[in-house]
Amino acid sequence: MLLCCRATASPPPSPPTPSHAADPHARLRAAAARSDLPGALTAFASMPSSPSAPAAARPVLRTFTALLKLCAARADLATGRAVHAQLAARGLASESLAATALANMYAKCRRPADARRVFDRMPARDRVAWNALVAGYARNGLHEAAMEMVVRMQEEDGERPDSVTLVSVLPACANARALGACRQVHAFALRVGLDELVNVSTAILDAYCKCGAIEAARAVFDWMPVKNSVSWNAMIDGYAQNGNATEALALFKRMVKEGVDVTDATILAALQACGELGYLDEARHVHELLLRIGLKSNVSVMNALITTYSKCKRTDLAAELFNDLGNKKTRISWNAMILGFSQNGCSEDAVRLFSRMQLENVKPDSFTLVSVIPAVAEISDPMQARWVHGYSIRHHLDQDVYVLTALIDMYSKCGRVTIARGLFDSARVRHVITWNAMIHGYGSHGFGKVAVELFEEMKGTGILPNETTFLSVLAACSHAGLVDEGRRYFVSMKEDYGLEPGMEHYGTMVDLLGRAGKLDEAWLFIKDMPIQPGISVYGAMLGACKLHKNVELAEESAQRIFELGPEEGVYHVLLANIYANASKWKDVARVRTTMEKKGLQKTPGWSIIQLKNEVHTFYSGSTNHQQAKEIYARLAKLIEEIKDVGYVPDTDSIHDVEDDVKAQLLNTHSEKLAIAYGLIRTAPGTTIQIKKNLRVCNDCHNATKLISLVTGREIIMRDIQRFHHFKDGKCSCGDYW
């Protein structure tokens, strides 16, 4: 046996480090090869600097450039500056080789201005020095400056760009989305034959992708006589980033088939494509592949896999990977998992994981909060909301625009629009998304006029509205019955801002016209749509037909919806209700039968109320609550009280049974149960907050108004579409929803 592991064995011989023979220059070279900056500094320290010392022992230019390279690699600015001082003391700081290395060091330490200063002091600048500056600007996000340097090196010094110049400046062209510049570089490369080089062509291809010129990129890719992994990765990622995930995956498969080396970048690009398409099976294949080639220890790849499985709605698989990461987890891993839970409706899991992150002392960043805050918003517990807000402040992240916007949205969703407005007013920086969140907040709470006013104020600030802004504004107009304003904004969207309305905008417009009773106009609006109307558009029409009892147009709309094959039973239910309203019982039966045949089910309605730390869920007629008896008793009393102030049960949507049974059924709606329970459990005067999974029904809406009157309570009800604030016998929606 050559090596023995027994404890009694003699220690292995130490590596040959003849300390006496220590030539500092050799030691520094060795340290540099190991990228060992401290070792290199020790070696440097043992070099004599006095001119009386033997010349061979004194540091030479090479010594300093080696140190600078190490500083650059580690972004160690302090040491880099010390080396700069040493060079300056010897009058070497402007020497071509040293200055170039210095410029490079500063650029990698994110100090492009210092790099420039060194460059400007050079008496003569060669191509390499120019290249260092181009690369320095490019990697620090100074795209225009990088491109300008390429022009100046030719004009001022007559230096012809070489391959390094091109691969340095191309990322700048790419990040500046400067397609024209990309084309110029490409043309230049063709002219001087630099396109033969794989790295040049790859950089061109990548820049084309980033500028959205995916066909041009593909043409370069297909032309390239020699490709490497980077070329393939850039092309695959180009497709993934440009929304063509299908082509990205196809190319990825070809790459594997042709035996090109798959790297971590390949995997990341392929996973991105799988996630975008929600292709679980493909994601699993990529997963298997990366296990085969041993990329499992790459945390970035595992993080991407967590994200991808989450996008495929498999948080279970994501969580498994997350747990397997053990102590290799980074903050990005936590963020990915929290976001995964948050976006898949697992709000409690998201918040729990966030708490665990605190317990394990992982510092959060703005991404963490932007992931967890929507989960808190979904849970809508004001206490938790206040806590996560305080947490954001403690970690100095509350003024991050994205965090702030998430907080505004969260407070709106917790029914606290005023607090949301306070945050909005205190914001030091506001993006479009910030305005959108606030406008949406007002709109969803029925403050349509305020939403519109805020939108007008936004236009005055010079911030350009986007598609989402208009969606919120149109929805606000719809909820507040601002028909003329809505029509004008819809036109303005395209004419003044060049924004193309999407399916949701059309749906909202139909909703706006339909709610206002302009059914014929809504129908014509659909007919005039330049895109094929989707289920959501006809769904809005159907809802309006229910509201205004128009059987004919309801049938037409439903017909189109059924042709489009809806996955939920809501539209059948809606149509059946419309027939029932018109006493067309045969038709009701027919719709019910088709619904059953298609295996579609009515979504059971539920309402929840949160008290202390418990969530109480009520279904229509449910009796399984611990305090069910009390609840029904309180409800019965409540119904008597509101009858005294004019409550008449709205039994329109119920049939087949006697009137008193109808009233009975209405009285056990989940909303009413939740409210009754809230009244029992909370002190007089407390606001009651309810969340309902469907639209609040007509009768419950009516009843709740009167409940707010007789009990003197404010009741905030969040349904699938919007918020209703009930107070003093009125609702913020003005009975218009």
Output the CA–CA distances (angstroms, integers) from residue 163 to 189, 190, 201, 204, 593, in the order listed: 8, 12, 10, 11, 71
Nearer of residues 108 and 487 to DNA, judged by Cβ: 108
162 binds DNA (CB under 7 A): yes
| Nearest partner of 694 among 676, 717, 726, 710, judged by Cα | 717
Instruction: Decide if 97 contacts 65 (C-beta within 8 A).
Output: yes
Nearer of residues 126 and 157 to DNA, judged by Cβ: 126
Binding mask 213-232 for DNA (x = CB under 7 A): ---------------xxxx-
Q: Which of 43, 71, 109, 170 binds DNA (CB under 7 A)?
A: 170
Dist. CA 150–CA 160, nearest whole Å? 9
164 binds DNA (CB under 7 A): yes
Instruction: Decide if 435 contacts 712 (C-beta within 8 A).
Output: no
Which residues are CB-neighbours of 720 under 8 A, at least 6 positions away? 692, 693, 694, 695
Smallest separation, CB 124 to DNA (Å): 9
197 binds DNA (CB under 7 A): yes
DSSP letters along 60-94, please? -HHHHHHHHHHHHHHT-HHHHHHHHHHHHHTT-TT
247 binds DNA (CB under 7 A): no
Per CB under 7 A, the segment of 259-267, 341-349, 380-388, 516-524 that binds DNA is 259-267
Smallest separation, CB 182 to DNA (Å): 13
69 binds DNA (CB under 7 A): yes
Q: Which of 82, 265, 289, 401 binds DNA (CB under 7 A)?
A: 265
Nearer of residues 232 and 606 to DNA, judged by Cβ: 232
Q: What is the DSSP secondary structure assignment for residue 715, as one 8-state letter?
A: E
Nearer of residues 236 and 535 to DNA, judged by Cβ: 236
206 binds DNA (CB under 7 A): yes
Residues 458-517 that bind DNA (CB under 7 A): none
171 binds DNA (CB under 7 A): yes
Smallest separation, CB 297 to DNA (Å): 15
β partners of residue 715: 688, 726
DSSP letters along 371-412, please? HHHHHHHHHT-HHHHHHHHHHHHHTT-TTSHHHHHHHHHHHH
Read off the tokens for 489: 């904004």
192 binds DNA (CB under 7 A): no
**10 Å Cβ neighbour count for 639?**
19
Provide, for the chain, the percentages of residues in helix, strand and coil under a 3-state DSSP scheme, each rounded to the nearest 5: 65, 5, 30
410 binds DNA (CB under 7 A): no
Nearer of residues 303 and 384 to DNA, judged by Cβ: 303
| Nearest partner of 714 among 508, 332, 457, 415, judged by Cα | 415
| Total binding residues toward DNA, as defined by CB under 7 A | 54
Per CB under 7 A, the segment of 46-54, 166-174, 426-434, 672-680 that binds DNA is 166-174
146 binds DNA (CB under 7 A): no
Dist. CA 604–CA 316, nearest whole Å? 26
Dist. CA 413–CA 605, nearest whole Å? 20
Q: Which of 131, 315, 368, 550 binds DNA (CB under 7 A)?
A: 131
Strands 715-718, 688-692: pairing is parallel
Smallest separation, CB 369 to DNA (Å): 17
DSSP H or E segment with residue 610:
strand 606-611
Residues 558-597 that bind DNA (CB under 7 A): none
Nearer of residues 268 and 408 to DNA, judged by Cβ: 268
Per CB under 7 A, the segment of 35-43, 233-241, 589-597, 626-634 that binds DNA is 233-241
Read off the tokens for 578: 């419309």
Smallest separation, CB 378 to DNA (Å): 24
104 binds DNA (CB under 7 A): yes
| Nearest partner of 163 among 194, 130, 128, 124, judged by Cα | 194
Smallest separation, CB 242 to DNA (Å): 11
126 binds DNA (CB under 7 A): yes
526 binds DNA (CB under 7 A): no
Q: Which of 109, 132, 290, 666 binds DNA (CB under 7 A)?
A: 132
Dist. CA 349–CA 704, nearest whole Å? 33
Per CB under 7 A, the segment of 33-41, 196-204, 446-454, 718-726 that binds DNA is 196-204
Tally the residues of the chain: 737
90 binds DNA (CB under 7 A): no
163 binds DNA (CB under 7 A): yes
Dist. CA 235–CA 616, nearest whole Å? 52
Binding mask 296-315 for DNA (x = CB under 7 A): ----x--xx-----------
Read off the tokens for 378: 């979904």
Q: What is the DSSP secondary structure assignment for residue 261, as one 8-state letter?
A: P
Helix axes 264-277, 229-241, angle to 10 degrees: 20
Read off the tokens for 19: 């300390």
Which residues bind to DNA, rule: CB under 7 A? 61-62, 65-66, 69, 72, 96-97, 100-101, 104, 108, 126-129, 131-132, 135, 139, 162-165, 167-168, 170-171, 197-200, 202-203, 206, 210, 228-231, 233-234, 237, 263-266, 268-269, 272, 300, 303-304, 332
